[in-house]
């Protein structure tokens, strides 16, 4: 009896192939055919799971955000709002090869969504959810006050910028973490 294929598992396999291609050469010229070759499957199989490149890119973006969320929640149990925020933000930064690949996909997706606003809905929802989470943690810590949303937006923008600096090798992982910790201390106080 043939093994039943898990649709989610197959879609993740194809999205992982897309991420490897994005990490190696960017997404501009990536086609469904190249993803099929990278995944070791037929183009027809890719088209069975993703009708369009937009659909595949959107799935890959959502998969990356799910992985970040899972990693930040499965880390050692944080005790304070500051530790929760720091844990999440460290999972976003490209501090190792898997996170560098994820950041390539996110950047490529955001650049693509900037010229195709119809696929940007998911990224706006994800960004809004993270901003709300960080703002809630600031309020829980008794900091941020009425400006908790702005402080959260600033902290997330800082991480976006640090991520880009890391991808371009303009700063070291140690410097990026020290910069993040400096800003967290300005919002939450010293640990």
Summarised one tens digit per residue, pLDDT across range 94-126 is: 999 889 988 888 888 888 888 877 778 778 888
Q: Hunting for tokens 């050692």 — which residue is that? A: 76
- Domain 7-188: CATH class, spelled out: mainly alpha
- Residue ranges per structural domain of the chain: 7-188
Residue-wise pLDDT for 34-85, tens only, equals: 999 999 999 999 999 998 888 888 888 888 888 888 887 776 666 889 999 9
């Amino acid at each position: 009896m043939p093994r039943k294929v898990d649709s989610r598992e197959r879609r993740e396999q194809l999205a992982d192939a897309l991420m490897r291609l994005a990490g190696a050469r960017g997404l501009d010229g990536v086609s469904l055919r190249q993803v099929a070759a990278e995944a070791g499957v037929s183009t027809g199989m890719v088209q069975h799971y993703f009708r369009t490149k937009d659909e595949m890119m959107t799935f890959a973006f959502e998969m990356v955000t799910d992985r970040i969320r899972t990693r930040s929640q499965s880390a050692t149990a944080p005790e304070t709002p500051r530790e929760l925020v720091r844990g999440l933000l460290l999972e976003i930064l490209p501090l190792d090869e898997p996170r560098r690949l994820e950041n390539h996909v996110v950047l490529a997706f955001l650049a693509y969504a900037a010229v195709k606003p119809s696929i940007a809905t998911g990224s706006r929802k994800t960004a809004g959810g993270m901003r709300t989470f960080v703002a809630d943690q600031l309020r829980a810590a008794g900091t941020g006050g009425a400006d908790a949303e702005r402080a959260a937006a600033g902290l997330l923008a800082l991480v976006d910028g640090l991520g880009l600096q890391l991808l371009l090798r303009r700063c070291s992982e140690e410097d990026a973490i020290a910069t993040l910790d400096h800003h967290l201390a300005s919002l939450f106080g010293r640990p």
